[in-house]
């Protein structure tokens, strides 16, 4: 890893995602969601940028998704313009063909078969609950276990998936997950949505507690009105919380949010939403609520004009304004952390420990799926008019 420096891991390493950086190496040890299943039909190929790498995501004729390098090994044209042939893809320029592992399997203009034709990268993929996950690290891939949760596999519940693109660094989005104080401010800003109002009890500040678990960090925010909010954060980029459902006063939904870096200044936010709601009309409203994209509304969001947005969109918009407002990549040298940032500091310590292990060539923590049940209580319901 030639880009890895001799000085200890520091906060300047946190935002970086490219191969051969400390964080890029750490992130490549995990499965990440990279696309929505419904966005990729059999026989289609799409360009995809993940962790600062340009890739080609395609779905074979069998229906299986595949992820390989972005450019042809011959003369480097993009491969998403190629033709999918069964489980392989053929470059549109001179017809070189690659399989799902990135190996070249045909060079039509050559009369003799080459023993070792040049290939490209090929990465394992998995589909889970409407999301396509990929592992971009060295073989062998870890078991596909850490991203799983029982609540998202419960057949009595309905799930919805969403992808948002945010034009800023992934790590400040992760830090936002570990910052319970922002609920009483950011989520009351522009318009007091049900989420900010209920969770924060109208703006009450919480006592904060954090503990490291086998899978990540458990965050407990206790407010003076007795409301205890727990979130179950999974290393390195997933948060599991409860949010209001699409029906006012109805059951709260479980939401799992991943921040997958596209590169250092843009992020795909995948959201897996699980509800016990059965009413088709409410489920349809929840599905429509997923259509909101902050980037379509930047100017008005930064003016605080959040009127007319759904509850889910308000949450997303408020987080977007706060986090994008820190800049494309937050300059942490200008910060002044305070008592409210206990979770942010805790999170950074965990990451810096894991980055330092990589720098020293030592094994990091063997993160594993949390086996004990975590109860994520919804706040007491306020009266619904």
Task: Give whichever of 13 and 319 is closer to Fe ion, judged by the CB atom.
Answer: 319
Task: Residue 96: name its binding partner from ligand FES, Fe ion, none (Cβ under 5 to 8 Å by kind).
Answer: ligand FES
* CB nearer to Fe ion: pick between 229 and 359: 229
Determine contact, residues 240/256, Cβ cutoff 8 Å: yes
The tokens 């997923």 sit on which residue? Answer: 290
Q: Label residue 196 exposed, middle or buried (CB < 10 Å: 0-12, 13-18, 19+).
A: buried
Nearest to 188 by CA among 304, 28, 289, 71: 304
User: How many residues of this chain interact with ligand FES, rule: CB under 6 A?
Assistant: 9
3-state helix, strand, coil in the chain (%, to 5): 25, 25, 50
- Least distance from Fe ion to the Cβ atom of residue 264, Å: 22
> Where do the DSSP E strands lie in the chain?
31-36, 45-50, 53-59, 65-69, 83-85, 88-90, 97-98, 104-106, 122-123, 125-128, 131-135, 158-166, 207-212, 216-222, 228-234, 238-243, 253-263, 266-275
| Tokens encoding 202 | 């109208």
In angstroms, give the least distance from the CB of 63 to Fe ion. 36
Residue 74 interacts, among ligand FES, Fe ion, none and using kind-specific CB cut-offs from 5 to 8 Å, with ligand FES
Distance between CA 204 and CA 340 in Å, rounded?
Answer: 13
Q: Give, as ranges, the residues between 62 and 91 that touch ligand FES (CB under 6 A).
A: 72, 74-75, 77, 91
* Residue whose CB is less far from ligand FES, 117 or 202: 117
What's the min distance (Å) between Cβ of 45 and ligand FES? 13
Report which residue's Cβ sits closest to Fe ion.
319
Rounded to the nearest whole angstrom, what is the least distance from the CB of residue 180 to ligand FES in the complex?
Answer: 51
> Could you say whether residue 319 binds Fe ion (CB under 5 A)?
yes
Of 99 and 231, CB closest to Fe ion: 231
Which of 338, 311, 377, 384 is closest to 205 using CA atoms?
338
Selection from Fe ion, ligand FES, none that 93 binds (CB < 5 to 8 A by kind) is ligand FES
Residue numbers 91-120 binding ligand FES by CB under 6 A: 91, 93-96
The Cα–Cα gap between 190 and 306 comes to 6
Piece of 94-102, 164-172, 279-287, 318-326 that binds Fe ion (CB under 5 A): 318-326
Residue (83 or 370) nearer to ligand FES, CB: 83
Give me the least distance between CB of 74 and ligand FES, in Å please.
Answer: 3
Cα–Cα dist 90/106, whole Å: 9
Question: Rule CB under 5 A: which residues touch Fe ion?
Answer: 319
Residues forming contacts to ligand FES in the complex (CB under 6 A) are: 72, 74-75, 77, 91, 93-96
């Amino acid at each position: 890893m030639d880009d890895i420096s001799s000085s200890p891991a520091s906060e300047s390493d946190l935002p970086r995602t490219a191969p051969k950086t400390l964080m890029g190496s750490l992130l490549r040890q995990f499965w990440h969601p990279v696309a929505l299943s419904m966005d990729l039909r059999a026989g289609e190929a799409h360009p995809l940028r993940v962790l600062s790498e340009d890739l080609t995501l395609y779905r074979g004729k069998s229906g299986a998704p595949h992820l390989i390098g972005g450019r042809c090994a011959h003369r480097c044209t993009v491969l998403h313009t190629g033709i999918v042939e069964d489980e392989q893809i053929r470059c549109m320029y001179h017809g070189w063909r690659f399989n799902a592992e990135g190996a070249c399997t045909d060079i039509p203009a050559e009369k003799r078969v080459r023993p070792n034709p040049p290939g490209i990268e090929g990465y394992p993929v998995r589909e889970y609950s409407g999301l396509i996950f990929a592992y971009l690290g060295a073989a062998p891939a870890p078991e596909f276990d850490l991203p799983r949760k029982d609540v998202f596999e419960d057949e009595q519940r309905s799930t919805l998936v969403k992808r948002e693109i945010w034009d800023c660094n992934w790590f400040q989005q992760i830090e936002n997950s570990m910052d319970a104080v922002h609920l009483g401010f950011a989520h009351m800003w522009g318009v007091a949505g049900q989420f900010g109002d209920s969770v924060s009890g109208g703006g009450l500040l919480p006592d904060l507690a954090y503990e490291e678990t086998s899978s990540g960090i458990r965050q407990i925010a206790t407010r003076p009105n007795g409301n205890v909010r727990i979130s179950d954060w999974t290393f390195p980029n997933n948060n599991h919380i409860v949010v209001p459902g699409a029906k006012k006063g109805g059951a709260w939904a479980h939401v799992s949010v991943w921040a997958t870096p596209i590169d250092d200044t843009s992020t795909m936010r995948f959201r897996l939403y699980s509800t016990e709601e059965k009413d088709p009309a409410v489920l349809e409203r929840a599905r429509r609520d997923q259509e909101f994209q902050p980037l379509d509304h930047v100017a008005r969001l930064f003016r605080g004009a959040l009127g007319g947005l759904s509850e889910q969109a308000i949450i997303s918009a408020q987080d977007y304004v706060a986090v994008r407002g820190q800049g494309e990549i937050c300059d942490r040298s200008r910060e002044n952390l305070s008592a409210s940032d206990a979770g942010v500091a805790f999170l950074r310590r965990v990451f810096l420990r894991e980055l330092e292990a990589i720098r020293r060539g030592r094994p990091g923590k063997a993160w594993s799926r949390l086996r004990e049940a975590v109860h994520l209580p919804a706040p007491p319901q306020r009266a619904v008019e």
